Amino acid sequence: MFSKILIANRGEIAVRVIRACEELGIATVAVYSELDRDAAHVRRADEAYLIGPGPAAESYLVIDKILDVARQSGADAVHPGYGFLAENAGFAAACEAAGIVFIGPPASAIEAMGSKTAARDLMSKAGVPIVPGTTETVATVDDARAVIAETVGYPVAVKAAGGGGGKGFRVALTEDELEAAFEGASREGEKFFGDATVYLERYLPDPRHVEVQVLADRHGSVIHLGERDCSVQRRHQKLIEESPAPAVDPELRARIGKIAIDAAAAVDYVGAGTVEGLLQDGEYFFLEMNTRVQVEHCVTEMTTGIDIVKEGIRAAAGEPLSVTQDEVVLRGHAIECRINAENAAKNFAPAPGRIGRYHEPAGPGVRVDSGVGPGSEISPMYDPMVAKLIVWDADREQATARMLRALDEFEITELTTLIPFHQALLSSGQWARAETCRDLVEDKAWLKATAPAAAPAPAEADEPEEKVSQDYTVEVSGRRFAVTIIGPPPAAGPAANGAGAARKPARRERAAGGGAGGGDELASPLQGTVLKVAVDAGATVEEGTLVCVIEAMKMENEITAHKAGTIKDLPIAVGASVAAGDTLAVITAGE
């Protein structure tokens, strides 16, 4: 077994991996950017090293810096978590070349699954059913038109070959829409993956997203841990996941389990991975394989009792899996809600900021995986997911009731999160009937009704004069040391983290209509570049009308009017940079 693991990630997944290491008796090394000096994963690890400025391209994505820290700290393995370098075959290969074990599959498996067309070709040859369509890229719109006429038919999905997770995915219901879909998918593929090539799939009108968790070791064992349903998504971001999938019975489970095992075996997989697919009318089609531990692995941990992260670490160390397929027993029902710093009522606009009070739910069957605490800053620079709330109970109905109870217990002040959205969705008839809720997450009026109450102003710090013990972290040559200073409280500055909150926390107000302040200015929630301006000065808008699209971190964020009225001022233009808080439009009520 390894003696020291470097975690090349941040946030909740870094903490999750550190916990697994602690249980296995393995020392941990964190890396962090300048923005993450006070982050949970940094405090939690045995050692921590600064690797650069906030932007991931200058820190969490810099392979050489991470390998330098691995060598300097004497780590014998690197865990990539998810995102960042997790599915970068070059990183896996660089680790191998440096004599450091990459905790994940061989670089060749990452590469084989990285190209979606190559993966489709490989899978169909391995007997894995794929969505009907091409296994090669289609060079031009005219070529696409011909292939569609000959084989695929309409409606058609145009997908980026370098894609995945729904990025670079466009639909053409008819031939009229093909050119725009082709160009959209190609442009997005170029932007996200540096690959403008696309392929075609038949577009399935109302599938469920069902994925299978697999584990593999270097001794020839490949097993599956059942499936998860992740159909509740918004712009291809999963919001709620559950296991078992409501539409999967034991017979179908065995069938898709075998499909997933065949897919993993075909690329000599090692560790934890997920085979994603679409389920429609009892037919299952391979979509792609995620060659890493996923955000939603926790629901499977709850229903199987198997620690997926520890199994991945053991497999990377050359140990056999701790369970055989026959020993996998699925029990009860688990649900996960992603608690993102986003405003569902405003088109899921990012809502970065500083957390005030923070209190996680607990009690029977409740698990929270998070990387934040009181006073944590949620930067617009990174993923907006602040926590995952996972519950388990005997069946779906009871698990839903437990989730609603836990969501109500979750206290996060001064930050807008998806908690009210989850409360509304899990209370809906569509969820109770196990529908995909696709129309709800697109329904602007319904989403608006989930509006969180206006964030209260930060409480004034009025602590009595006394000696306090303060923990500080000092940084010497990029290395962190913890020091404790006991003395009078610091003169000014932010309120001490949650210290001595005398007032009983007010119960979070329930979703209540409006919430937005009465101001005329529509402020940008984030820093980015204006991609599109959707209104003209002088125009009349409704609350929720699209005003502009701002690109930040390669994501397109739709900014909508915060109230009805007339656009009095529109100080933005396509291509311009905006900072968080900048005025995008001034909207006055009435004419």
Binding site for ligand MV4 (CB under 6 A): 131, 157, 165-166, 169, 201-204, 207-209, 231, 233, 236, 278, 287, 436
DSSP lists the bridge partners of residue 286 as: 130, 277
**Nearest residue to ligand MV4, scored by beta-carbon proximity:** 166
Residue 91 · residue 103 · CB < 8 Å? no
Q: Which amino acid is at 454?
A: A
Q: Which is nearer to ligand MV4, 236 or 331 (CB)?
A: 236
Least Cβ distance, residue 179 to ligand MV4 (angstroms):
19
Closest CB to ligand MV4 among residues 433, 467: 433
The Cα–Cα gap between 37 and 474 comes to: 10
**Strand segments (E) across 109-206:** 156-164, 167-172, 198-202
d(CA 498, CA 157) in angstroms, rounded, equals 49
β-pair type (27-33, 4-7): parallel
DSSP 455: P
Q: Nearer Cβ to ligand MV4, position 169 or 410?
A: 169
Min dist CB 198 to ligand MV4, Å, is 13
> Please, which residue, 217 or 276, has the CB nearer to ligand MV4?
276
**At what angle are helices 107-114 and 116-125 packed, to 10 degrees?**
100
Report in angstroms how near the CB of residue 438 gets to ligand MV4 at its nearest: 6
With CA atoms as reference, report the closest residue to 548 among 523, 529, 530, 521: 530
Q: Give the separation between CA 292 and CA 272, rounded to whole angstroms.
A: 6
Distances (CA, A) of 74 to 18, 68, 101, 310, 428: 16, 10, 12, 21, 52
CB-based contacts of 331: which residues, under 8 Å, 6+ apart?
A: 303, 304, 305
Q: Measured between alpha carbons, how far is 446 from 385 in angstroms, rounded to an integer? A: 22
Least Å from the CB of residue 110 to ligand MV4: 19
Nearer to ligand MV4, 89 or 157 (CB): 157
Q: Return the percent helix, strand and coil in the chain, to nearest 5.
A: 30, 30, 40
Closest separation between CB of residue 93 and ligand MV4, Å? 27
> In angstroms, rounded to a whole number, what is the distance separating the alpha carbons of residues 362 and 405?
10
CB-nearer residue toward ligand MV4: 278 or 451: 278
- 125, with CB counted inside 10 A (0-12, 13-18, 19+), is exposed
CB of 279 to ligand MV4, least distance (A): 8
Our CB check for ligand MV4 shows the closer of 6 and 131 to be: 131
Least distance (Å) between residue 188 CB and ligand MV4: 13
Within a 10 A sphere around the Cβ of 64, how many other Cβ atoms? Answer: 9
Least separation in angstroms between CB 488 and ligand MV4: 54
**Least distance to ligand MV4 from the beta carbon of 398, Å?**
24
CA distances from 129 to 119, 121, 171, 256, 366 (A): 12, 10, 21, 10, 36
By beta-carbon proximity to ligand MV4, the closer residue of 169 and 431 is: 169
- In the bound state with ligand MV4, the residue whose beta carbon lies nearer, of 67 and 131, is 131
| Of residues 231 and 370, the one with the C-beta less far from ligand MV4 | 231
> Considering the complex, what minimum distance in angstroms separates the CB of residue 471 from ligand MV4?
42
